[in-house]
Amino acid sequence: MSGLRPKDDPKLAAGKVPSEMLRELLALIPAAGPSVILGAAVGEDAAVIDTGGPELLVAKTDPITFAAEDSGRYLLAVNSNDLATTGAEPRWLLVTVLLPEGIDRAGVHRIFASVREACAAAAVALVGGHTEITVGLDRPVLVGCLLGTVRRERLVHTSGARTGDAILLAGGIAIEGTAILANEHSAALRTRGVPTEVIERAAGWIRDPGISILRAAQAVHGTGAAHSMHDPTEGGIVTALHELAEAAGAGLCVDRSTIAVLPECARICAALELDPLGLLASGALLVTLDSAEMPAALERLRGAGIPGARIGEMLPVSEGRTWTDGTPLPCFATDELARYLEAR
């Protein structure tokens, strides 16, 4: 039995591969050798390889498929975020650039300039990659492979969450998805009564506060207390909580009222009949740690100018994944942004 779905299954929607299918696919990968400390696993954000020295090599690959503006900064941010959740420092970037037929030379130069500038600003070395003009694309696609290092005693796993840990959310919900909606669908938002000033504020989130969680992760990691870190992306904060629990083999209970849904996000989601808790949420960070360590972590975040709050607790797996009122956490089969785009 191959473990793959039959050919007559319904076609998959845009977004993440369904978690049950991902588990099947990952189960087919042969076991890695002892040098692979962390390989492919549901909920884990990066691979970790032991090269024999005092520092471990951390690797991540992620694409940019629909963000046209400032693509280099965006690409570096989404890859750096996943390295940051391990406690690693981003150091070297390779980029595969797939270009649509008919793109002009100036467009290619703008993409490369954006990547160079982003790397220079982040002190990351651009060390290689691949470039081609690809049949069938309607826009450029960039795929990053980012490498970094972390001292072995400072490595953090998503699976490191422990029963009894407090859950901390740094940042607000949902920065990336709301910014994309505001930038690319402003006319639809105005038609549905969203004020121009709300749309403009949300559109600016791409740059400020941006989607990078590197400073937040470094602030919390600096306490030495983080058992687990994970960044919410597609499927929003709720999907990230499911991934956190699954990676740790644990349950959790979350107080919905403590999740900081930003006012502009709430307004835009209400206008489009979307759930902000299932909306693309890059720019936020989930952390688990001992309850006694929470005040110090929150203080370090405040010092970095980043909001944070305790939103829940890790529980035994038998307790399930629930809100504090006892209802189960919902599951989002597709991100709310993708659902909106499909319905248009």
Determine how many CB atoms are found less than 10 A away from the CB of residue 143.
18
- The confidence score (pLDDT) of residue 25 equals 82
Which of 112, 137, 154 is a domain's end point? Answer: 154
263 and 218 within one domain: yes
Rg of the chain taking only CA atoms, in angstroms: 20
In a domain? residue 129: yes
β-bridge pairing 166-170 and 89-100: unpaired
Q: How many domains does the chain have?
A: 2
Q: What is the CATH number of the domain that holds 113?
A: 3.30.1330.10
- CA torsion sign, 40 to 43 to 44 to 45? positive
Residue 107 CB neighbours (<10 A): 12
Same domain membership, residue 234 and residue 202? yes
How high is the pLDDT of residue 1?
Answer: 33
Instruction: For the sheet with 36-38, list strands across it.
Output: 36-38, 47-49, 55-64, 141-151, 89-100, 125-134
End-to-end distance of the chain based on CA atoms, in angstroms? 39
Q: Is residue 26 part of a domain?
A: no
- What the block records as the tokens of 262 is 């930003």
Rounded distance, CA 163 to CA 235, Å? 24
The predicted model scores a pTM of 0.87
Q: What CATH number did the domain enclosing 206 receive?
A: 3.90.650.10
What does the buried/exposed string (b/e) look like for 40-54 if buried means 16 or more CB atoms within 10 Å of the residue's CB? ebebbbbbbbeeeee
| Angle value at C-alpha 260, between 258 and 265, nearest 5 degrees | 140
- Residue span of the structural domain in which 185 resides: 158-343
- The two tokens of residue 105 are 């030379």
Walking along the chain (344 residues) 10 residues at a time, the average pLDDT comes out as: 49 72 79 82 82 93 75 91 94 96 92 94 96 92 96 92 97 95 95 96 91 94 92 95 95 97 97 97 96 96 96 98 97 92 83
Instruction: Tell me: do 104 and 164 sit in the same domain.
Output: no
pLDDT at 69: 63
Question: What's the pLDDT at 343?
Answer: 79
Task: Please state, in angstroms and rounded to a whole number, the distance separating the CA atoms of residues 81 and 90.
Answer: 9
Distance CA 275, CA 270 (A): 8
| pLDDT value of residue 2 | 40
Together in a domain, 325 and 251: yes
The token pair that represents 43 in the structure block: 């909920």
Pairing of strands 125-134, 89-100: parallel
331 lies in some domain: yes
**Can you read off the two tokens belonging to residue 22?**
């991902």
**Is residue 292 included in any domain, yes or no?**
yes
Q: Cα separation of 298 and 290, whole Å?
A: 13
